[in-house]
């Protein structure tokens, strides 16, 4: 009896195992199993040679900006469904049989399952990040400057997609011959990757003093103000910069409407213009970076003329010894009233001594008292200083600091107020034609005399170099 029971149980087990094995092979009952295939995948990182063909300049990228430490490829069928995806680890990348540092090309042999022979699939590759459908979806930054998608050796990259390269055009088909690891199916082309971010380098300045403005569009008042600045300014020195209007979202794959770059809906901006203060007050001075060694900022692309990404420049002005005679402050602070530079409140009163009432009838000492000058420095708070500026229409350049701003422009996209991914933007101030504003958002509508001549360079990575004339 026991022997009979054991025999029946064994037979049942064998039958179940056989049925399960057949189901595994077939996938579904009545369908032919498509076995494991091999695919040869070649990706090209945006290396020193760049991947964009429409730009003429090349710009070297660092290894930290170019390395791939993980990646996922996707096979997508004609209905848009993912039929297979595989994440490739950094170890697998490190041990690939073919890698050319000169071209940035890496070739991988990968096993593929769940595909059908003689069927075309689209191929996508997402490096150093993860997403369910990156060709459709959006990344959202969790911090300023596109973090976390710009960590060293973890710059997020995806299929290049622009007028020269169609990110949707990479395809592959499998045949029975591709079941041999020595004969992997080849993707239709090398998948060119590009970083999802743009890079804005620390600005440079050739301007060291105020230059004569020779163009015909300056008014008489502007010309007078600029001549006054030229006479009284000994030198100017670029000491800081800040970037405004940083988008918090990006399409993972670049998207276009004909020639217009598209950015996602619902964007909010880090460091918008409003956070830098008003026309008379400076806020968030900590947003400004001191000019140092080779600083770089990474941002998502932008195409919003009302909230264009732009740069503030901070210069420190040194006046001549003659201009500093009798100065109220010893730290370089000076004033400007009606376009003319003064270093003391008394000098303003002296220049307008023929006016019966000046500044509401307040004395020079009363006006100075509002500034709270102690040991040669203004100690008034930003709010108090803002009220002083607004009530008296006197610009106060605390410690000799002056500010300019310039929209960052892409030389190749064909229109202004847009920056795009995988691009380096370098702003170089060529000339200054007058002292700028006394605060970052100083009102240039009332005082239209802040002339700036800026050169922008754009290269792959892509570099944009922008020369700037400030006025």
Both 100 and 134 in a single domain?
A: yes
204, part of any domain: yes
Both 235 and 252 in a single domain?
A: yes
How would residue 219 be classed by pLDDT, with cut points 50, 70 and 90?
Answer: confident
How would residue 320 be classed by pLDDT, with cut points 50, 70 and 90?
Answer: very high
Q: In this predicted structure, which of 23-37, 302-316, 348-362 has the lowest mean pLDDT?
A: 23-37
Both 360 and 424 in a single domain?
A: yes
Tens digit of each residue's pLDDT (9 = 90 or more) over 250-274:
999 999 998 899 999 999 999 999 9
Both 345 and 249 in a single domain?
A: yes
- Assess whether pLDDT exceeds 50 at residue 56: no
- Assess whether pLDDT exceeds 70 at residue 51: no
123, part of any domain: yes
243, part of any domain: yes
Both 234 and 255 in a single domain?
A: yes
Both 189 and 242 in a single domain?
A: no
Q: Span 402-420, mean pLDDT?
A: 90
Both 181 and 62 in a single domain?
A: yes
Q: Which residue has the higher pLDDT, 159 or 66?
A: 159
Task: Write the CATH number for 146.
Answer: 2.60.40.2580
24, part of any domain: no
Domain boundary among 195, 227, 259: 195
27, part of any domain: no
How would residue 103 be classed by pLDDT, with cut points 50, 70 and 90?
Answer: confident
Q: According to the model, what pLDDT value does residue 49 have?
A: 47
20, part of any domain: no
Domain boundary among 153, 179, 195: 195
Both 436 and 459 in a single domain?
A: yes
How would residue 21 be classed by pLDDT, with cut points 50, 70 and 90?
Answer: very low
Q: Which residue range(s) make up the domain with 339?
A: 199-470
- Assess whether pLDDT exceeds 90 at residue 29: no
Q: Which residue has the higher pLDDT, 61 or 238?
A: 238
Q: Span 287-315, mean pLDDT?
A: 95
8, part of any domain: no
Q: According to the model, what pLDDT value does residue 14 have?
A: 30
How would residue 1 be classed by pLDDT, with cut points 50, 70 and 90?
Answer: very low
How would residue 235 be classed by pLDDT, with cut points 50, 70 and 90?
Answer: very high
How would residue 412 be classed by pLDDT, with cut points 50, 70 and 90?
Answer: confident
Both 248 and 185 in a single domain?
A: no
Domain boundary among 149, 164, 195: 195
Q: Which residue has the higher pLDDT, 59 or 347?
A: 347
How would residue 98 be classed by pLDDT, with cut points 50, 70 and 90?
Answer: confident
Q: According to the model, what pLDDT value does residue 175 have?
A: 97
Q: What is the mean pLDDT of the chain?
A: 87
Tens digit of each residue's pLDDT (9 = 90 or more) over 435-454:
999 999 997 544 445 668 88
Both 227 and 287 in a single domain?
A: yes
Both 186 and 204 in a single domain?
A: no
How would residue 16 be classed by pLDDT, with cut points 50, 70 and 90?
Answer: very low
Q: According to the model, what pLDDT value does residue 471 have?
A: 60
Both 206 and 183 in a single domain?
A: no
User: With helix as H, strand as E and coil as C, how does the chain read?
Assistant: CHHHHHHHHHHHHHHHHHHHHHHHHHCCCCCCCCCCEEEEEEEECCCCCCCCCCCCCCCCCCHHHHCCCCEEEEEECCCCCEEEEEEECHHHHHCCCEEECCCCEEEEEEEECCCCCCCCEEEEEEECCCCCCCCCCEEECCCCCCCCCEECCEECEEECCCCCCCCCCCEECCCHHHHCCCCCEECCCCEEEEECEEEEECCEECCCCECCCCCCCCCHHHHHHHHHHHHHEEEEEEEEEEEECEECEEECCCEEECCEEECCCCCCEECCHHHHECCCCECCHHHCEECCCCCEEEEECECCHHHCCEEEEEEEEEECCCCCCCCCCCCCCEEEECCEEECCHHHHHHHCCCCCCCHHHCCHHHHHHHHCEECCEECCCHHHHHHHHHHHCCEEEHHHEEEEEEECCCCCCCCCCCECCCEEEEEEEEEECCCCECCCCCCCCCCCCCEEEEEEEEEECEEEEEEEEEC
Q: According to the model, what pLDDT value does residue 6 have?
A: 33
Q: Which residue has the higher pLDDT, 54 or 20?
A: 54
Counted domains in the chain? 2
């Amino acid at each position: 009896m026991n022997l009979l029971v054991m025999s029946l149980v064994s037979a049942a087990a064998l039958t179940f195992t056989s049925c399960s094995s057949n189901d595994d092979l077939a996938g579904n009952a009545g369908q032919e199993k498509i076995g494991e295939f091999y695919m040869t995948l070649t990706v090209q990182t945006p290396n020193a040679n760049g991947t964009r063909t429409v730009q003429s300049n090349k710009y070297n990228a660092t290894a930290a900006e170019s390395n791939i430490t993980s990646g996922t490829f996707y096979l997508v069928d004609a209905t848009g469904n993912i039929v297979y995806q595989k994440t490739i680890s950094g170890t697998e990348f490190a041990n690939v049989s073919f890698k050319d540092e000169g071209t940035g090309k890496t070739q991988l042999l990968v096993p593929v399952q769940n595909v059908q022979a003689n069927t075309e699939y689209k191929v996508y590759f997402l490096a150093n990040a993860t997403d369910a459908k990156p060709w459709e979806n959006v990344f959202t930054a969790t911090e300023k400057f596109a973090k976390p998608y710009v960590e060293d050796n973890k710059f997020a990259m995806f299929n290049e997609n622009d007028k020269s390269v169609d990110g949707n055009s990479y395809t592959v088909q499998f045949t029975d011959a591709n079941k041999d690891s020595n004969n992997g199916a080849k993707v239709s082309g090398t998948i060119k990757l590009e970083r999802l971010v743009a890079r804005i380098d620390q600005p440079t300045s050739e301007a060291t003093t105020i230059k004569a403005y020779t163009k015909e569009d300056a008014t008489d008042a502007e010309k007078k103000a600029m001549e006054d600045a030229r006479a009284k300014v000994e030198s100017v020195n670029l000491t800081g910069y800040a970037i405004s209007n940083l988008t918090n979202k990006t399409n993972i794959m670049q998207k276009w409407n004909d020639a217009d770059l598209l950015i996602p809906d619902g964007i909010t901006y880090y460091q918008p213009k409003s956070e830098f203060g008003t026309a008379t007050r400076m806020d968030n001075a900590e947003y400004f970076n001191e000019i140092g060694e080779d600083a770089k900022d990474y941002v998502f692309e932008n195409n919003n003329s009302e909230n264009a990404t732009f740069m503030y420049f901070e210069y420190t002005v040194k006046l001549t010894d003659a201009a500093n005679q009798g100065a109220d402050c010893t730290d370089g602070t000076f004033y400007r009233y009606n376009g003319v530079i003064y270093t003391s409140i008394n000098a303003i009163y002296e220049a307008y001594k023929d006016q019966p009432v000046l500044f509401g009838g307040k004395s020079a000492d009363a006006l100075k008292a509002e500034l709270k000058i102690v040991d040669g420095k203004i100690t008034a708070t930003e709010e108090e200083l803002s009220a002083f500026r607004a009530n008296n229409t006197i610009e106060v350049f605390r410690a000799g600091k002056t500010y300019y701003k310039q929209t960052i422009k892409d030389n190749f996209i064909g229109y202004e107020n847009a920056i795009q991914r995988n691009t380096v933007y370098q702003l170089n101030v060529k000339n200054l034609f007058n002292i700028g504003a006394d605060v970052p958002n100083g009102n240039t509508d009332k005082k239209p005399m802040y002339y700036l001549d800026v050169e922008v360079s754009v290269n792959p990575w892509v570099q944009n170099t922008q020369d700037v004339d400030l006025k």
